[in-house]
């Protein structure tokens, strides 16, 4: 811990200034913690971490340059002890699993920041993990399901961009039939009725992002 | 002219011979020199002897006969076709000729459609007074009634018959009008040219059917593609709406919520700070409402295709300038047009409009520009649309990475440009502004609104 007092030193990473401001306003009131730096992109987050070595990093997942997950991996490869809390809008199980695999210690939904932020910071700072109950429930629900393969994930992303099978086939340089069979597998694995449904499920579970 | 009633028949002499009238059949039978009269030129003198012999007076004497002894020639004459001519020429027999034996022994003939003029000569084999023989002929399947002719016109000619089967029939009578009702018949087949044959017609019908089927398949495929496109367009649209809600409403409300919580936590200790925090929260909520309103406006914006692109973009520019998202020093917006305005494909115009508006909004919100200019260039080979600003520029790293969807949305916009058959390029340097150029080839852009071009566009969109 890189601090002479007992104050918890915090880095806030989010590309929305309003949200960073809100988080700062909440933390400001707490005598045992302070925001030492803010970052609006993933690269900036890595830089600021190197400079400030915060005790806790609040990390948004969707950012303009590199994703929050990539930033977590980068920071943890340099500072394995880094305690990072994911700060996101969605409770999708797949995204949670990715974040936890990357080394996040806590998970915080933006909609719950106002009630859960301080407690989460203190819990993670104390060396424990914290995952909100609704996220845990979401995780438990899908543990037995097959994960999408990398190809299937790629195709689901292209579907979400409004591409037809033919277009997807052209972009991936495969036959349209191949795409069709992949799409069939995606629908099966996600339990979706059609493409639109698959995209909706994909978004909900954090398999793909907006 | 005198007449004598005899045996319920009447005889009459006249300058052309003697006639007998049969009241039962109401027919005349004429006798002249060729029947043995000494002359045709009878006077009006006549006499019947007590034994029944009748005398008619004429210029060279008189003719006497017993009427009851006059017998008609009852011989039924055979009828034969004596010659066949093509184009008025007699044909050789054998070899390549149509005739392999004499026409008299032939009972069917096959002619080509090229044998357009042919004729038959015929005769009744009755030599007593043969010049009084009569004939009738017809070509069944071509004419209904009989052609009755005398012995001097024993020739039937037909020209330009349609391909088909015919039956040529001739009947003849002897000099006393005794007809050979059976006569002679010759069947004729005129073969059609290849373009009138059944197999050719079947082939044509087949081709037409195949083309109809292909047209049906084509249209079906077209509708299918349209349907798929609409479905995929819906996914895209939903993603766009979701992204917009996420980036605007949700963020503002989340932040507002946090500010309110902070104010509440602060309330007892530092009420003034808390009040400031609440004000911030209220501002954020108001901003969220404004953003929500503009998002809804975008969603229900009318189709733009009925008006000029420059016109609708000018409207968009005004709308953006007055929107709540305006930065502190709002940039000056301008729309320019170069070249002669051309009619744009309606769907395409709408797409171009949406792209341009998004580019404008991005520049307006993020570029920190003093001026933003839209330029529409109607060029011969392409349509070009430039959106330039003199703002801070897009970071090259972001530009290269394609930017993040929802913030700069560059990959999404590039994809949309590709899908409508064009391309979108960005030129930017830090501090030197940004220029986005959308290029759409003329074939796609000015396709006109007829179906063919329309479908071309669709294919382009679906296939890219």
DSSP per position, B12-69: EEETTEEEEEETTTTEEEEE-GGGT-S-S-EEEEEEE-TTS-EEEEETTEEEEE-GGG
Which range has the worst mean pLDDT, B123-137, B211-225, B324-338? B324-338
Domain edge (last residue) among A100, A120, A141: A141
Average pLDDT over residues A123-128: 93
Task: Give the residue from chain B lying closest to A28, CA to CA.
Answer: B262
CA-nearest residue to B264 within chain A is A26
Contact between residue B422 and residue B440 where contact means Cβ atoms under 8 Å apart: yes
Nearest residue in B to A26, CA atom? B262
- What's chain A's average pLDDT? 87
- Taking an 8 Å cut-off on Cβ atoms, the answer to whether A199 and B238 are in contact is yes
| Rounded alpha-carbon distances, angstroms, from residue B405 to A67, A111, B167, B408 | 12, 22, 87, 6
Where do the structural domains in chain B lie, given as residue ranges? Answer: 3-69, 79-198, 228-300, 303-464
Q: Which residue has the higher pLDDT, B318 or A187?
A: A187
CA distance B377 to chain A (A): 29
- Domain annotation covers residue A156: yes
* One domain for residues A71 and A127: yes
User: Are A158 and A196 in a shared domain?
Assistant: yes
What predicted TM-score, i.e. pTM, was given to this entire model? 0.51
Is A181 an interface residue toward B (CB < 8 Å)?
Answer: no
Are residues A186 and A109 part of one domain?
no
What value of ipTM does the predicted structure carry?
Answer: 0.72
Measured from the Cβ of residue B110, the count of other Cβ atoms closer than 10 Å reads 11
Do A188 and A136 share a structural domain?
no
pLDDT at A191: 87
Is the pLDDT at A1 greater than 60? The verdict is no
Q: Are B360 and B317 in contact (CB under 8 A)?
A: yes
Q: Is A110 in the same domain as A37?
A: yes
Pairing of strands B89-90, B79-86: antiparallel
Tell me, yes or no, whether A3 lies in a domain.
no
Q: Mean pLDDT across the stretch B180-189? A: 91
CB-neighbour burial class of residue B319 (10 A; exposed 0-12, middle 13-18, buried 19+): middle
Q: What CATH superfamily is the domain B79-198?
A: Immunoglobulins (2.60.40.10)
Q: Which of B262, B397, B401 sits opposite A29 (nearest CB)?
A: B262
Distance CA A187, CA A195 (A): 7
Q: Which two tokens stand for residue B92?
A: 């050789």
* Whether residue A130 sits in one domain with residue A66: yes
Higher model confidence: residue A97 or residue B304?
A97
Give the model's confidence band at A123: pLDDT under 50 very low, under 70 low, under 90 confident, else very high.
very high
Q: Is residue A178 part of a domain?
A: yes
Instruction: Tell me which of B76-80, B215-219, B372-376, B446-450 is least confident.
Output: B446-450
Which pair of structure tokens corresponds to residue B3? 């007449």
What whole-number percentage of chain A has pLDDT above 70?
A: 97
> Which of A49-53, B95-99, B350-354, B434-438 has the highest mean predicted lDDT (pLDDT)?
A49-53
Residue numbers of the domain that contains A76: 8-141
Residues A156, A133 share a domain: no
Q: Are residues A89 and A108 in the same domain?
A: yes
Residue A129: inside a domain, yes or no? yes
Residues A25 and A122 in one domain: yes
B314 contacts chain A (CB < 8 A): no
CATH of the domain at A20: 3.40.50.2300
Predicted confidence (pLDDT) per residue in B223-240, tens digit: 877 777 677 767 777 777
Locate the chain B residue with the closest alpha carbon to A21: B255
Topology match between the domains B79-198 and B303-464: no
CA–CA distance, B101 with A192 (Å, rounded to integer)? 85
Beta carbons of A166 and B243 less than 8 Å apart: no
Distance from CA of B265 to the nearest CA of A (A): 8
Closest residue on chain A to B234 (Cα): A162
Does A201 contact B at CB distance below 8 Å?
A: no
What mean pLDDT, rounded, does chain B reach? 80
Q: What is the structure's pLDDT at B405?
A: 40
Token pair of B160 as six digits:
């330009």
A1 occurs within a structural domain: no
Q: How confident is the model at residue B463 (pLDDT cuts 50, 70, 90)?
A: very low
- pLDDT tens by residue, B1-58: 455 555 556 777 777 778 888 888 888 878 887 777 777 777 777 888 888 888 888 7
CATH number of domain containing A157: 1.10.10.10
Burial of B270 (0-12, 13-18, 19+ CB in 10 A): middle
In this structure, are A127 and A56 located in the same domain?
A: yes
pLDDT of B299 reads 67
| Partner residue facing B257 (CB), from A29, A114, A163 | A114
Q: In whole angstroms, give the CA distance from residue B154 to residue B162.
A: 24
Label the pairing between strands A8-13 and A33-39.
Answer: parallel
Q: CB-CB: which of A28, A166, A210 is closest to B406?
A: A210
**Pair (A127, A68) in one structural domain:** yes
CATH class as words, domain B303-464: alpha beta
Structure tokens at B170: 């001739």
pLDDT at B205: 94
Distance CA B344, CA B44 (A): 105
Six-digit token string for B229: 């496109």
Selected residue of A15, A41, A64 to mutate for chain B interface (largest B Cβ count, 10 A): A64
pLDDT of residue A50: 95
**pLDDT tier for residue B464 given thresholds of 50, 70 and 90:** very low
pLDDT digits (tens, 9 = 90+) for B369-413: 888 899 999 988 899 999 998 888 777 666 665 544 444 467 677
Look at residue A93 and tell me whether its pLDDT is greater than 90: no
B343 with B403: CB under 8 angstroms? no
Q: Using CA atoms, how far apart are residues B270 and B252, in angstroms rounded to an integer?
A: 24
Please tell me the predicted confidence (pLDDT) of residue B459.
43
Q: What is the predicted pLDDT for the residue at A194?
A: 85
B182: tokens are 């059976």
d(CA B133, CA B180): 11
Record the tokens describing residue B310, joined without a space: 């420059």
| Contacting residues of A for B408, CB less than 8 Å apart | 64
Query: How high is the pLDDT of residue B386?
Result: 92
Q: What is the mean pLDDT of residues A61-66?
A: 81
Chain A contact present for B262, CB below 8 A? yes
> What is the model's pLDDT at position B189?
92
Give the whole-number percent of chain B exceeding pLDDT 90.
16
d(CA B441, CA B421): 7
Is the minimum CB–CB distance between A23 and chain B shorter than 8 Å?
yes
Domain count, chain A: 2
Report chain A residues whose CB lies below 8 A from the CB of B231: 195-196
**B75-89, B213-227, B249-263, B297-311: least confidently modelled range:** B297-311
Q: Is A46 exposed, middle or buried, given 0-12, 13-18 or 19+ CB atoms closer than 10 A?
A: buried
CB contact at 8 A, B353 and B301: no
The partner residue sitting opposite B251, judged by closest CB among A16, A63, A161, is A16
Nearest to A17 by CA among B273, B413, B287: B287
First-residue to last-residue Cα distance in chain A:
36
Kindly state the tokens that stand for B309: 């692109």
- pLDDT value at position B121? 92
Interface probe, candidates B221, B258, B402, chain A, greatest A C-beta count within 10 A: B258
Q: What is the DSSP letter of B391?
A: S
Which of A12, A33, A161 best tests the B interface by mutation, with the highest count of B CBs <10 A? A161
Measured from the Cβ of residue B23, the count of other Cβ atoms closer than 10 Å reads: 10
Residue A45 located in a structural domain: yes
Question: What are the distances in angstroms from CA A57 to CA A10, A32, A188, B226, B234?
Answer: 6, 15, 38, 49, 38
CB contact under 8 A, B252 and A63: no
Please indicate, yes or no, whether residues A169 and A71 belong to a single structural domain of this protein.
no
């Amino acid at each position: 811990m890189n601090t002479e007092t007992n104050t918890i030193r915090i880095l806030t990473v989010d590309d929305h200034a309003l949200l960073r401001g809100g988080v700062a306003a909440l933390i400001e009131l707490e005598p045992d913690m302070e925001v030492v730096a803010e970052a609006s992109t993933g690269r900036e987050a890595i830089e600021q971490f190197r400079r400030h070595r915060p005790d806790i990093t609040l990390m948004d997942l969707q950012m303009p340059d590199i994703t929050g997950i990539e930033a977590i991996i980068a920071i943890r490869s340099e500072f394995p002890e880094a305690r990072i809390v994911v700060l996101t809008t969605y409770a999708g199980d797949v995204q949670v699993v990715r974040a936890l695999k990357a080394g996040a210690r806590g998970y915080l939904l933006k909609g719950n920041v106002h009630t859960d932020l301080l407690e989460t910071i203190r819990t993670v700072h104390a060396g424990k993990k914290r995952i909100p109950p609704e996220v845990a429930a979401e995780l438990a629900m899908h543990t037995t399901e097959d994960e999408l393969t990398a190809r299937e994930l790629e195709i689901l992303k292209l579907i979400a961009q409004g591409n037809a099978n033919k277009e997807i086939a052209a972009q991936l340089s495969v036959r349209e039939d191949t795409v069709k069979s992949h799409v069939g597998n995606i629908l099966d694995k996600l339990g979706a009725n059609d493409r639109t449904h698959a995209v909706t499920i994909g978004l909900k579970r954090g398999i793909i992002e907006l | 002219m005198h007449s004598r009633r005899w045996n319920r028949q009447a005889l009459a002499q006249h300058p052309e011979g003697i006639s007998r009238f049969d009241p039962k059949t109401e027919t005349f039978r004429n006798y002249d020199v060729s029947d043995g009269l000494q002359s045709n030129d009878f006077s009006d003198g006549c006499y019947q002897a007590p034994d029944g012999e009748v005398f008619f007076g004429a210029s060279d004497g008189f003719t006497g006969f017993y009427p009851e002894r006059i017998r008609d020639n009852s011989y039924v004459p055979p009828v034969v076709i004596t010659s066949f001519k093509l184009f008025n020429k007699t044909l050789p027999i054998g070899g390549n000729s149509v005739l392999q034996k004499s026409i008299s022994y032939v009972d069917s003939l096959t002619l080509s459609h090229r044998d357009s003029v042919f004729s038959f000569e015929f005769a009744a084999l009755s030599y007593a007074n043969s010049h009084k023989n009569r004939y009738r002929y017809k070509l069944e399947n071509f004419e209904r009634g009989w052609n009755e002719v005398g012995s001097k016109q024993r020739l039937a000619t037909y020209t330009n018959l349609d391909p088909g089967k015919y039956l040529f029939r001739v009947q003849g009578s002897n000099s006393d009008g005794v007809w050979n009702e059976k006569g002679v018949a010759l069947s004729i087949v005129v073969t059609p040219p290849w373009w009138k044959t059944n197999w050719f017609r079947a082939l044509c019908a087949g081709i037409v059917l195949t083309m109809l089927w292909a047209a049906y398949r084509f249209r079906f495929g077209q509708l299918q593609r349209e349907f798929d496109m609409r479905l995929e367009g819906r996914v895209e649209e939903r993603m766009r709406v979701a992204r917009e809600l996420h980036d605007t409403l949700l963020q503002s409300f989340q932040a507002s919520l946090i500010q309110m919580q902070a104010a509440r936590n602060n309330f007892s200790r530092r009420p003034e700070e808390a009040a400031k925090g609440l004000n911030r929260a209220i501002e954020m909520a108001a901003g969220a409402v404004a953003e929500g309103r503009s998002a809804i406006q975008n969603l229900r914006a009318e189709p733009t295709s009925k008006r000029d692109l420059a016109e609708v973009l000018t409207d968009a520019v005004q709308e953006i300038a007055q929107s709540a998202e305006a930065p502190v020093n709002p940039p000056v917006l301008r729309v320019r047009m170069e070249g002669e305005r051309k009619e744009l494909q309606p769907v395409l115009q709408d797409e171009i409009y949406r792209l341009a508006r998004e580019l404008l909004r991005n520049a307006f919100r993020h570029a920190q520009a003093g001026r933003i200019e839209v330029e529409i260039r109607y060029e011969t080979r392409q349509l070009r649309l430039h959106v330039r600003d003199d703002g801070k520029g897009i970071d090259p790293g972001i530009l290269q990475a394609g930017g993040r969807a929802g913030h700069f949305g560059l990959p999404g916009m590039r994809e949309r440009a590709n899908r409508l058959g064009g391309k979108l390029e960005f030129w930017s340097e830090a501090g030197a502004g940004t220029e986005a150029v959308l290029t759409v080839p003329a074939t796609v852009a000015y396709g006109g609104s007829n179906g063919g071009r329309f479908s071309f566009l669709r294919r382009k969109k679906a296939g890219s």
